[in-house]
Amino acid sequence: MIMHTSSPAAAREWALPGQRVLSVRDLSVNFASEEGSVAAVHRLSFDVDRGETLAIVGESGSGKSVTSLALMRLLAANGQIAPGGSMLFRRRNGDVLDLAQAEQGTLRHIRGADMAMIFQEPMTSLNPVFPVGEQIAESLRLHQGMDHARARREALHMLERVRIPEAKNILNSYPHQLSGGMRQRVMIAIALSCKPALLIADEPTTALDVTIQAQILQLIDELQQEMQMGVIFVTHDMGVVAEIADRVLVMHQGEKVEEGRAVPLFSAPQQPYTRALLAAVPRLGAMAGKDFPAKFPLANGSDSGQPQDTVPPGSEPVLRVRDLVTRFDVRSGILNRVTRRVHAVENVSFDLYPGETLGLVGESGCGKSTTGRSLLKLVDSQHGTITFNGQTINQLKGAALQHLRRDIQFIFQDPFAALDPRLTVGFSIMEPLLVHNVARGAAAEKRVAWLLERVGLRPEHARRYPHEFSGGQRQRICIARALALNPKVVIADESVSALDVSIQAQIVNLLLDLQREFGIAFLFISHDMAVVERICHRVAVMYLGQIVEIGPRRAVFENPQHPYTRKLMAAVPIADPRLARQRPPLLVDEIPSPIRALGDEPVTAPLVQVGPGHFVARHPIAGARQAVPLSGEKAT
């Protein structure tokens, strides 16, 4: 039993309206730095009622994530809530206290039980030395008083509710064994397991593909209605905001710019900043009728320019992949023998041309990231050939492999895990230049400053460390590092998924500029179909390790032939609350597991040509309904 009388925050009676869960008044947060005190949030006020969803939106660095951390009292050591503000919170038992004044002992009981948070980067939030099932069960034992067996059963139930396949096996898996989307779903399961009064979700669906994102949003909505839970949804995705928000609070440089009900705010925003934010949202179908990639129109009204074909006519592929197979062993039993295998990539073939962007899209766990890692030999493949500039690179090792990585660079999905926390970001960007003897000293520093400016940061940021940046800023740093060596091929694994819409537009435009200037070929791995439509020349859709549709971007988006491709597009959020809420709920289907018993070989469906360069697999997909017959064919 928690004795509130020991807390100064509970020493006086707070009054909140009956339906109110949270009332924030004049919240200010300052951070101490070498340059002095930095005001991250300034005199912010808002309310959240029971059963209501408040979306806090804004650009990277606007203070929206700092606000959520302040509510949980989880600010970094150099962060401080300024006196004079209040954060009144109603617990599940009806008690009201001021979070700004609550003691740490009280807060430890509140976190997880009465208020929970889903963080942006799951790899830094999950404990790497414990199985994910144990981490969910720990929260249930601590806050719900469950015994070990019951907590394990409830943990399994939560994994199933967030649509994780083979949940019983995932229960004993460690975070590093899961994809980014899987890890985020585990985080959501932990946060929702104790049925809190207030859920704070900081970019909870950023790492998820569109179908799982839609299902997770449905799940949060269902649990919210069931528990009458208040939700604060921190995001840069205006499509997600349109789907779930009752009210919207727009932030810029630590201050509230605009607040209101979702429908009127989207239809008639009052402030120029809000209008610019909505204008930068990528919309599916915006590239209809265009054959080549085109820049995003920027918020400042600058012309995006005409689409240009950057692929030299008659050129040979810079990268050729044939029948690529990548599998991972699953060991079990007392003798730790291989009993099953994860069939991550199965007979994948494609070409990538100089100056071309090939989009690789699909759900979390479909094998798209493993495909990218296999090309750089970051994971071992069991079969297939990979040819770069006419040279077979499958068997390269040592110095030859190191030289290859100068020409093929990788932008990873999780920026915090990709950057060394002990090094300044300037040195992290400079490191490839030093390793490959491209530049040193003043020349290297000048290159670092130029790269930082090209990705929307300032040269003086080179002296800072990764933890001093927001998630979106860290991703920009990773992009700068990948571009340092002027590579011929860049494998971008969800490289803009963590960025707010305006910076996302700038980065996509930057990639297109660099492609036009240097002829870089991009393998663009993403779950954001609207961005893929904007940046790609061709698109390949993956499902359970196989390519089920590949072709010119315009053909795939304007005439999708495979039912799974259509399902992906149907799940894309619509940045209009009136239209978004008229859509029927997405069909919730069990995602088949890529784990198979030894000797159980998957059947690779042949690709059938349905148009110039447009190929489609002919096999049924779970949850996608019966395949529509291809032109000129009968359904089989």
In the chain, list all ranges with CATH 3.40.50.300.
4-279, 319-617
Least confident of 149-163, 531-545, 576-590: 576-590
Spatial distance between the Cα atoms of 634 and 636, rounded to a whole number of angstroms? 6
Q: What is the mean pLDDT of residues 66-71?
A: 94
Q: Is 609 helix (H, G, I), strand (E, B) or coil?
A: strand
Which is higher by pLDDT, 19 or 276?
A: 19
CATH 3.40.50.10800 is right for the domain spanning 319-617 = no
**Whole-prediction pTM:** 0.76
- Asked if 544 and 225 touch (Cβ cutoff 8 Å), the reply is no
Q: What is the mean pLDDT of residues 333-350?
A: 92
Q: What is the largest CA-CA distance in the chain?
A: 78
Neighbours of 67 (CB within 10 A): 27
Nearest to 493 by CA among 421, 402, 415, 430: 415
Spatial distance between the Cα atoms of 60 and 206, rounded to a whole number of angstroms? 13
pLDDT in tens, 85-126: 999 999 988 889 999 999 998 998 899 889 999 887 777 789
Q: The tokens of 257 are what?
A: 């710019």
189: left (phi over 0), alpha (psi -120 to 50) or beta: alpha
Nearest to 60 by CA among 45, 34, 40, 74: 40
Spatial distance between the Cα atoms of 615 and 617, rounded to a whole number of angstroms? 7
Nearest to 198 by CA among 97, 81, 61: 97
| β-bridge pairing 337-352 and 36-49 | unpaired
> What are residue 523's DSSP bridge partners?
358, 491
- Asked if 611 and 630 touch (Cβ cutoff 8 Å), the reply is no
Q: What is the 3-state secondary structure (H, E, C) of 94-137?
A: CCEEECCCCCHHHHHHHECCCEEEECCCHHHHCCCCCCHHHHHH
Spatial distance between the Cα atoms of 53 and 145, rounded to a whole number of angstroms? 29
In order, the DSSP letters of 251-314 are EETTEEEEEEEHHHHHHS--SHHHHHHHHT---TTTTTT--S--PPPPTT----------SPTT
Spatial distance between the Cα atoms of 207 and 228, rounded to a whole number of angstroms? 26
Long-range contact list for 454-459, CB < 8 A, 24+ apart?
454/480, 454/483, 454/510, 455/479, 455/480, 455/507, 455/510, 456/503, 456/506, 456/507
pLDDT in tens, 524-560: 998 888 899 999 999 999 999 999 999 999 999 999 9
How far is residue 400 from each of residues 264, 379, 563, measured CA to CA in Å?
59, 17, 42
Measure the CA angle with vertex 117, ends 91 and 188; round to 5°.
115
pLDDT in tens, 311-331: 988 889 999 999 999 999 988
Mean pLDDT (the chain) is 86
Q: b/e map of 407-441 (b: 16 or more CB within 10 Å)?
A: ebbbbbbbbbebbeeeebbbbbbbebbeeeebbee
Neighbours of 44 (CB within 10 A): 23
Q: Is 80 helix (H, G, I), strand (E, B) or coil?
A: strand
How far is residue 485 from each of residues 198, 433, 482, 596, measured CA to CA in Å?
46, 7, 7, 40
Q: Is 568 helix (H, G, I), strand (E, B) or coil?
A: helix
Measure the CA angle with vertex 328, ends 324 and 331; round to 5°.
160
- On the 0-12 / 13-18 / 19+ scale of CB atoms within 10 A, 222 is exposed
Least confident of 13-17, 400-404, 597-601: 13-17
CATH 3.40.50.300 is right for the domain spanning 4-279 = yes
**Within 283-412, where are the H helices?**
368-375, 398-407
- Asked if 76 and 467 touch (Cβ cutoff 8 Å), the reply is yes
Q: What is the mean pLDDT of residues 430-449?
A: 94
Max mean pLDDT range (27-41, 429-443, 561-575): 429-443
Least confident of 177-181, 382-386, 587-591: 587-591
- Tokens 């989009």 correspond to 359
